[in-house]
Structure 1
């Protein structure tokens, strides 16, 4: 999907909206499940906190303190902040396992 997104983005920047990659991406996105509204906060939090990930040779785990900064920004209670951290850790574990699988497949 990432390759398709890059291809479609390049085609759209060039003004080639009829390119096969643009059409294929639109069809793929149309078939993706929608995110339930009650999950949007966590998804947006994951995207924001993920942008704070340490950059280096290997993907690093998301940090607790970055998650707590996000929780403070949105004035979450202690319970809500702990729930946010549990959800962020679970989502991050999936991302890191995908990165690990991709590296083992390319080796």
Structure 2
């Protein structure tokens, strides 16, 4: 099982992941889609990536704002799996919105 990352490790990892913020026990990013359906399509793409990784985000959809929250529930905090999923979500956002 993957070890929990320290605060310093999280800070270092987030240097290459603009838009992601550390929160107690998680990584969080808000993405603004151009419209509601674009946000839903984004969620679908992220769901596919999450299934491939067998690591799933918490997702909140509020009109055009999609919030992704990543934590490794089994470990009670942030692990390399969360950082890797954050990286993949960022790639998907860039592909969809050029963000």
The normalised TM-score by structure 1 is 0.30
Larger RCO, structures 1/2 (Cα 8 Å, 6+ apart): 2
Structure number with higher helix proportion: 1
Structure number with higher strand proportion: 2
The normalised TM-score by structure 2 is 0.32
